[in-house]
């Protein structure tokens, strides 16, 4: 397992560093909200979510992706928090929550739809109510009868607030299609 994920230049993505620093509670103060159920620390020093919390988190992650491709504004409003939201991609453009939701709307208004999505590999780092997901993704969309497949790596940050996993930040690195 390669943790932390590095960019092609060999440095840790700034988005990941900022997201983890913003969402980690101070070490001297107890969190005001109950932590996700944790298993004991493993041999590698990392905590793991219990099976139920892991399943809830992975379901929330998939809901975010599917909500974006369907412009499900109710789910996007629920799962993308108003504070501290940033989305970035390999195009080096940072997007606010509003820009991300507008991109979803534009995708659907242009006739786009999700055909399939999968996450072949997923690893997690757990920091109490904050989880950093390192994943590979592959999805196929369709627009105007034309299908397009995209794949890449993602670093996603999730925070459990009031019993709901929210996705305040992510970084997507697309793998160029081979000719």
Q: Flag whether 58 is in a domain.
A: yes
Domains held by the chain: number: 1
The CATH number given to whatever domain includes residue 158 is 3.10.450.50
For the purposes of burial, counting CB atoms within 10 Å of the CB of 149, is it exposed (0-12), middle (13-18) or buried (19 or more)? exposed
pLDDT at 85: 84
Nearest-CA neighbor of 5 among 21, 19, 23, 17? 17
Q: What is the pLDDT of residues 89-112, one digit of tens each?
A: 888 889 999 999 999 999 999 999
- Averaged over 9-29, what is the pLDDT? 39
**Full domain range(s) for residue 77:** 14-21+47-174
Query: DSSP for 98-144?
Result: HHHHHHHHHHHHTT-EEEEEEEEEEEEEEETTEEEEEEEEEEEEEET
Nearest-CA neighbor of 3 among 118, 121, 133? 133
Q: How many CB atoms lie within 10 A of CB 102?
A: 13
- Averaged over 141-155, what is the pLDDT? 97
Q: How far is CA 138 from CA 28, 117, 173, 177, in A?
A: 40, 6, 12, 12
pLDDT at 46: 61
Rounded Cα–Cα distance for residues 144 and 152 (Å): 24
CB 43, CB 122: distance < 8 Å: no
pLDDT at 51: 95
Rounded Cα–Cα distance for residues 104 and 73 (Å): 9
Residues in the chain: 179
Is it the case that residue 158 has pLDDT exceeding 60?
yes
Q: Flag whether 9 is in a domain.
A: no
Is it the case that residue 13 has pLDDT exceeding 60?
no
Q: Flag whether 42 is in a domain.
A: no
- pTM (2 d.p.): 0.76
Q: Flag whether 94 is in a domain.
A: yes
Rounded Cα–Cα distance for residues 144 and 156 (Å): 30
Percentage of the chain exceeding pLDDT 90: 65
Q: Flag whether 61 is in a domain.
A: yes
Q: Flag whether 109 is in a domain.
A: yes
Q: What is the pLDDT of residues 59-72, one digit of tens each?
A: 999 999 999 999 99
Q: Flag whether 166 is in a domain.
A: yes
Name the more confident of 107 and 2: 107
Q: Flag whether 127 is in a domain.
A: yes
Is it the case that residue 116 has pLDDT exceeding 70?
yes
């Amino acid at each position: 397992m390669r943790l932390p994920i590095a960019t092609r230049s060999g440095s840790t993505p700034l988005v990941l560093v900022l997201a983890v620093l913003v969402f980690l509670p101070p070490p001297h103060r107890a969190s005001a909200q109950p932590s996700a159920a944790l298993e004991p620390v493993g041999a590698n020093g990392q905590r793991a979510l219990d099976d139920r919390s892991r399943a809830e988190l992975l379901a929330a992650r998939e809901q975010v992706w599917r909500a974006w491709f369907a412009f499900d504004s109710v789910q996007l409003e629920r799962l993308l928090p108003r504070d501290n939201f940033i989305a970035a991609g390999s195009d080096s453009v940072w997007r606010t929550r509003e820009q991300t939701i507008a991109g979803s709307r534009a995708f659907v208004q242009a006739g786009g739809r999700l055909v399939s999505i999968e996450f072949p590999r997923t690893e997690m780092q757990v920091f109490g109510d904050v989880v950093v997901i390192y994943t590979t993704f592959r999805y196929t969309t369709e627009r105007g009868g034309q299908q397009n497949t995209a794949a890449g790596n993602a670093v996603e940050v999730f925070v459990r607030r009031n019993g709901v996993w929210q996705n305040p930040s992510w970084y997507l690195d697309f793998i160029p299609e081979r000719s």
